[in-house]
Amino acid sequence: METVLVLDFGAQYSQLIARRVRECRVYSEMIPYDTPVDEIRAREPKGLILSGGPASVYADDALEINPEIFELGIPILGICYGMQVMAHTLGGEVTRTGKAEFGKTELSVTQEIVLFDDLPATQTCWMSHRDSVTTPPPGFEVTGTTASSPVAVMESTERKLYGIQCHPEVVHTPYGTDVLKNFLYEACDCVPSWTVVSIIEESVDAIRAQVGDEKVICGLSGGVDSSTAALLVYRAVRDNLTCIFVDHGLLRKNEATQVIDAFENHFHVPLIHIQAEERFQKKLDGVTEPEKKRKIIGEEFIRIFEEEARKLEGARFLVQGTLYSDVIESGTRDAAKIKSHHNVGGLPEDMDLDLVEPLRHIFKDEVRNVAAELGLPDNMVWRQPFPGPGLAIRIIGDVTFERLEILRDADFILQEEVRRAGLYRDLWQSFCVLPAIKSVGVMGDERTYAYPIIIRAVTSEDAMTADWARLPYDLLETVSSRIINEVPGVNRVALDISSKPPSTIEWE
């Protein structure tokens, strides 16, 4: 599989570069900036991309690159800080000019060599930097400038080294994807072969290589992630797979029935249904801290899976629908932890099971494409993401049976009205949140003291960033009216209008 690796220098959205490369149908993934050269060479990448980063190359704690990287003989593209560290390492000059560039900037292409081949001579790009390359390294040609950056693009076709100060990975650089394609197809000589079929074939081969003839269990939630992972593993090992659906009592209304029906009647995959509502509720009693909730739920899932594995003649592999975004948010060495995902950062250290995670290196949109190719029904392919800890992290405070029922009923109304308005597929997520507080209201001339419900709806491509959805006022009015009138214990509905960042999509 042809691969282009992204060396992560700590930019907030380095993974977006890998995502854009994949959209060009070339496989890509992030690795730490200081990955040993021998490890990189062993992976035989077709090219490297050096990401942006928050620091100056002259800072005391600046992230440096091993100069041997540039002797690998493969094409390398430096973006923003990646360009500056390339210039600094190879003998160019990087300067704090006092002319920072942030936002949309006009770029003048002075030569069409590789990166801007067949692209307009003047175009808009997105900048975010204070330092600038003022003198390129020996052997480089300046192929693009801006009013404040004398070296906005530099290229050494002989060494196949390229640098660009703007960010081609963001949508605010209209020709950014074309720049990446020129690097991938012309400089790296990549073939656009990263397709849905290739993802499935590679995954099935990897699963067979990992598990052999061993028995495998899959933690099935009914979401597109775990369902797709289950179908990939089933394709690889057939009857050696048993899916386990744990109803922890934190699901949405009627969800358990839908999951069981789909897998027993549509795919005919062996399925065990575990009813564990009281078990989870007992563990969560009195717990209010969100990270503790996630870890409790994550550990209890594992303990149940271990118990069931022992009953299945010693199955020792556990399939999970972990995504690349889950791994990043749960914290890697170069990415700060935002929150623990129960299937990553929430896992206990003392596990008896080895993990099989066929989706660990792909994004949600890629998962949906794979799911459709595998025949998953549309209502499951396009089911909005639902967290493994379920409604426990949508109740801000102690989780009780009463609050779960209130939240379940309110959320059911919201989903029903969003679908009726034809907006379900337009939204990344839409759901209700119940803070464990009460406020005064009036119903039928009488004072009430009841819970509020917060409506949360966002648009996004991959959950790494999200914007609050501008839902129509008449829809909001209908949802609010129905929730207050139909759900006992609620007397107020509010709307969350914060984006990610600075907020997260889920409240906990």
Its pTM stands at 0.72
The reply to whether 167 belongs to the active site is yes
Residues 329, 437 within the same domain: no
Residues 365, 486 within the same domain: no
Residues 218, 106 within the same domain: no
Q: Is residue 386 part of a domain?
A: no
pLDDT above 50 for 361? yes
Mean pLDDT of the region 60-88? 92
Which among 88, 129, 167, 248 is annotated as catalytic?
Answer: 167
Which among 24, 80, 190, 218 is annotated as catalytic?
Answer: 80
Which among 169, 357, 366, 508 is annotated as catalytic?
Answer: 169
DSSP H helical segments within 344-400, as ranges?
364-374, 378-381
Residues 217, 315 within the same domain: yes
Residues 160, 221 within the same domain: no
pLDDT above 70 for 329? no
Question: Which distant-in-sequence residues (6+ apart) come within 8 Å of 348 by Cβ?
Answer: 298, 299, 302
The reply to whether 80 belongs to the active site is yes
Mean pLDDT of the region 83-89? 93
Residues 201, 319 within the same domain: yes
Residue entry with tokens 């175009």: 123
Residues 368, 425 within the same domain: no
Q: Is residue 460 part of a domain?
A: yes
The reply to whether 169 belongs to the active site is yes
| Residue numbers of the domain that contains 370 | 196-381
What secondary structure does DSSP assign to 205-241, as a single string? HHHHHHHTT--EEEEE-SSHHHHHHHHHHHHHHGGGE
In three-state secondary structure terms, 249 is coil
Residues 169, 201 within the same domain: no
Q: Is residue 335 part of a domain?
A: yes
Q: Choose the final residue of a domain: 318, 347, 381.
A: 381
Q: Choose the final residue of a domain: 129, 159, 187.
A: 187
Q: Give the residue among 504, 463, 428, 424 at the shortest CA–CA distance from 19.
A: 463
Residues 338, 450 within the same domain: no
More confident of the two residues 454 and 503: 454
Instruction: Out of 56-70, 284-298, 316-330, pick the least confident.
Output: 316-330
Q: Choose the final residue of a domain: 346, 381, 416.
A: 381
For position 342, what pLDDT does the model report?
Answer: 44
- 380-394: per-residue pLDDT in tens? 888 888 888 999 999
For position 177, what pLDDT does the model report?
Answer: 93
Residues 165, 39 within the same domain: yes
Residues 155, 27 within the same domain: yes
Residues 177, 158 within the same domain: yes
